[in-house]
């Protein structure tokens, strides 16, 4: 993974459409990292669901489903159309299911936010998988461990209701369930995978892999990347510190188990799934991600590292960036590699 010399490189030149969106996100934060909530809410445009596959131009249907009304927990389900070469009279082959956790420092965005609706729709189409984007509860109203509890609740819901997901016109293979998320969602992906693996539930749902896109980990010390890349893009050290203060239990430090997932004393279940960790060269979190990879490998866990030297934090959500397309292809390969054999043929293996 990238070393200290990488910090001296000039930031990449980004398309103006990306620069505008990153600048708007930066503007929604004060210098101390706190969020101007009204300003952010005005810019956080939402997408509706699509019941007709042609309506979005992607061949993907979507619908919202309530997981737990008592805690306001719901998810958006994206379902691909049957394969173009599928026999109309034959039962469609089961497809993998991807459970997605959006980013936003545990405090921002939702499953309906336009960038996440569009990204999950894209994953659904390109991976030919059912994607379930979890609208977990946000901090500071709902601190640790609410987001993790909601992630596990979503898996339990799917284990019991996979055959009746709305707008799912293809069957899902619960033995090929993948957890994925970016930034704070990558953090949630790790903790939900760990909880599911450690609890050894008597369930049909099997977590076959975890995809962590620039996951949000941390600690009290400052890494070289945090010092060198502060404010290079929309993400700043002040903002990350604010997110941790909002999410962690009051009075906790960034060395809390939710943030610091590497080092001595960190538990990792024997059944923790194979992981794919995505790292950007201009992401100030990349040193924590490198330590996470070392921790996984130190425990003997299979992990694939995918690095994009010119990628800023959140690059995956911008389809106009070449690295975003490369990442989706890498994720497709990962899903193909770790899916059950009964439907690998339909994935192109």
What tokens does 102 get? 């959006």
CB 162 within 8 A of CB 118: no
Q: Which of 236, 242, 221 is nearest to 35 (CA)?
A: 242
Active-site residue, selected from the candidate residues 183, 233, 236, 324: 183
Residue with tokens 């930066």: 26
Give Cα separations from 296 to 54, 67, 100, 155, 289 (angstroms): 42, 31, 21, 23, 11
Catalytic-residue membership of 310: no
With H, G, I as helix, E, B as strand and everything else as coil, classify residue 185: helix
- What is the residue whose two structure tokens read 């693996």? 197
313 in catalytic set: yes
- Annotated catalytic residue within 173, 283, 287, 323: 283
Nearest to 62 by CA among 44, 47, 84, 46: 47
Query: Which position among 191, 313, 316, 338 bears the catalytic label?
Result: 313
Cα–Cα dist 343/346, whole Å: 6
Nearest to residue 18, comparing CAs of 310, 326, 332, 331?
310
Can you tell me the distance from the alpha carbon of 115 to that of 176, in angstroms, rounded to the nearest whole number? 25
What sign does the dihedral 226-230-234-240 (CA atoms) show?
positive
| 324 labelled catalytic | no
d(CA 119, CA 77): 13
d(CA 257, CA 56): 41
In this structure, the strands spanning 207-213 and 275-282 are: parallel
- Nearest of 279, 285, 284 to residue 327 by alpha carbon: 279
Based on C-alpha coordinates, what's the Rg of the chain?
19
Residues annotated as catalytic are: 183, 283, 313
């Amino acid at each position: 993974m990238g070393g200290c010399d990488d910090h001296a490189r000039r930031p990449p030149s980004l398309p103006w459409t990306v620069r505008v969106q990153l600048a708007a996100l930066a503007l929604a934060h004060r210098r101390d990292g706190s969020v101007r909530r009204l300003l952010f809410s005005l810019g956080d445009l939402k997408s509706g669901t699509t019941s007709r596959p042609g309506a979005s131009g992607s061949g993907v249907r979507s619908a919202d489903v309530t997981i737990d009304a008592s805690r306001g927990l719901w998810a958006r389900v994206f379902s691909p159309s049957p394969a173009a070469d599928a026999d109309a009279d034959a039962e469609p082959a089961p497809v993998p299911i991807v459970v997605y956790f959006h980013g936003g420092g545990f405090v921002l965005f939702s499953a309906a936010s336009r960038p996440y609706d569009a990204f999950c729709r894209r994953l659904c189409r390109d991976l030919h998988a059912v994607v379930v984007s979890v609208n977990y509860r946000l901090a500071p109203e709902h601190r640790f461990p609410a987001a993790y509890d909601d992630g596990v609740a979503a898996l339990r819901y799917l284990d019991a209701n996979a055959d009746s997901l709305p707008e799912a016109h293809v069957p899902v293979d619960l033995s090929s369930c993948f957890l994925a998320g970016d930034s704070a969602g990558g953090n949630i992906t790790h903790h939900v995978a760990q909880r599911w693996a450690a609890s050894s539930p008597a369930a049909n749902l099997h977590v076959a892999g975890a995809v962590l896109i620039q996951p949000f980990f941390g600690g009290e010390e400052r890494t070289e990347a945090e010092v060198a890349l502060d404010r290079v893009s929309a993400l700043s050290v002040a903002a990350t510190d604010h997110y941790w203060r909002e999410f962690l239990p009051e009075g906790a430090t960034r060395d809390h188990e939710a943030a610091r997932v590497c080092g001595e004393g960190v538990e990792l279940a024997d059944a923790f799934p194979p992981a794919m960790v995505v790292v950007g060269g201009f992401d100030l979190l990349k040193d924590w991600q490198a330590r996470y990879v070392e921790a996984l490998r130190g425990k003997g866990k299979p992990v694939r590292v995918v690095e994009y030297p010119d990628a800023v934090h959140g690059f995956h959500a911008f389809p106009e960036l070449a690295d975003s397309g490369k990442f989706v292809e890498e994720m497709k390969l990962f899903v193909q590699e770790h899916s059950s054999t009964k439907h690998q043929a339909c994935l192109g293996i």
